[in-house]
Amino acid sequence: MTPSEVKATLSFSDDSPSVELPIYKGSIGPDVIDIRKLYGQTGKFTYDPGFLSTASCNSTITYIDGDKGELLYRGYPIEQLAVQCDFLEVCHLLLYGDLPDGAQRETFVQTITHHTMVHEQMQFFMRGFRRDAHPMAVITGLVGALAAFYHDSTDVHDARHREIAAHRLIAKMPTLVAMAYKYGLGQPYIYPRNDLTYSANFMRMMFATPCEDYRINDVLVRAIDRIFILHADHEQNASTSTVRLCGSSGTNPFAAIAAGVACLWGPAHGGANEAALNMLGDIQKMGGVEKIGEFIKQVKAKDSKIKLMGFGHRVYKNYDPRAKLMRETCHEVLSELGLHDDPLFKLAMALEKIALEDDYFVARKLYPNVDYYSGIVQRALGIPPSLFTAIFALARTVGWIAQLDEMIADPEYKIGRPRQLYAGAPRRDVVPIGKR
Ligand code: SDX
């Protein structure tokens, strides 16, 4: 980061001395005001619940321009990566800073491929869950449990350990997610196969059975691979910030990623794709397209707390570029499967059109986000709604681990420890119970 010639001066309306704060410039995007010395100089904290105006770190991985609706992974536009690359190339990009050449790609693919099996004992963890456990409960547990099996890659301060843990997590997430799915069905697990691509392997582990193998459909495999690319990283979102804060204590990478999985589960974050599909299903039950107006009225009613799931974003105040790509993928998959008349897809497009012309949404700059269409695509691929967020976690694992690695590799990093505005009781003495 480059010091700006411009400084920020903080002055106070009483006679407190003003404070000069340095400003730094990134390569693109907003400058930052460095407030690290503010408390020492003024005895005051800044106050920013939800971190609407706070840059928590200096990163080189992902850039988002919310007004333009732009998303870059290491400088490459998501629109180009989603069309010209596959997920493992994007993993290499996020982890190592650039797209691999042919030889690097081959080495990386072989490395990941040969880490896709999980320890046989992981199956015993599975048996502890109810068959109807939500897959995110299972995945949160299994990812944390990985730390119990890989003591040779848990020293987060050892760069080689971090790299091995990254390879293991990227490779094993598809296996674990497919295991969670099969466990819920009561079907036997399907082992990974080294002769398949990453995404074909995942689809086979999900849909093959010992009685019948899975016929690879390149359009569907390409669709899930693109879903992985679109979800791979997204700057300092809630779950990535969770991974950074958790990892800043020096805990092992598996524990930090498990914390990210837990955070992503929430309906305001990664759980929105499941919630968006359920919302479309509810509108369908209400009567479909004719009932969109009634539903939107409920959303606008302040006390209803009903949100248009899959719409709105803390950063994007324009169309989420991932939503456009997801809508195209939706179209491709539904056409391939002869479902172009899928009522939910038609309903989703009608709802999107109406919302984008409605002042309530226009005034609040609410546009479809990545979660709006992803549920429809995944449902068409045969993936149950309860597994959508686990798929999101599978894809985001590479972003989480790249961000964790960047933080730990920064010699300046410290354990994250925010402060607070205290509004509770001032000091008081305990009264013995007989006198309370
Ligand atoms: C993801 O951060 C990331 O990068 C996340 C993510 C990633 O890749 O990691 O992009 C993935 O989490 C995408 C977002 C998925 N969530 C949803 O689709 C859930 C529905 N969306 C909302 O919950 C909401 O839009 C958030 C949580 C996404 C953003 O909320 P903010 O930035 O805190 O904005 P806000 O809640 O203050 O909303 C501003 C106004 C409010 O109205 P007023 O109080 O000003 O009258 O817009 C309204 C909100 O009520 N609003 C919505 C709405 N989203 C915001 N009203 C109806 N439907 C919505 N979806």
How confident is the prediction along the chain (436 residues), in pLDDT tens digits per residue? 889 999 999 999 998 999 999 999 999 999 999 999 999 999 999 999 999 999 999 999 999 999 999 999 999 999 999 999 999 999 999 999 999 999 999 999 999 999 999 999 999 999 999 999 999 999 999 999 999 998 777 788 889 999 999 999 999 999 999 999 999 999 999 999 999 999 999 999 999 999 999 999 999 999 999 999 999 999 999 999 999 999 999 999 999 999 999 999 999 999 889 899 999 999 999 999 999 999 999 999 988 889 999 999 998 898 899 999 998 998 999 999 998 788 988 999 899 999 889 999 999 999 998 899 898 899 999 999 999 999 999 999 999 999 999 999 999 899 999 999 999 999 999 999 999 9
Residue owning the nearest CA to atom 45 of ligand 1: 364
* Catalytic choice (92, 167, 234, 313): 313
Its sign, for the CA torsion 141, 142, 143, 147, is positive
Provide the whole-model pTM. Answer: 0.94
Residue indicated by tokens 């105040």: 317
Q: What are phi and psi of 228, to 5 degrees?
A: -60, -45
Enter the tokens of residue 74: 């290491």
**Is 15 an active-site residue?**
no
Enter the tokens of residue 274: 């499941």
Enter the tokens of residue 123: 């199956």
For ligand 1, mutation pick of 243, 307, 316, 351 (most atoms within 8 Å of CB): 307
**What is the CA(227)–ligand 1 centre distance, in A?**
21
> CA-to-CA distance for 1 and 353, rounded, in angstroms?
41
Q: What are phi and psi of 262, to 5 degrees?
A: -60, -45
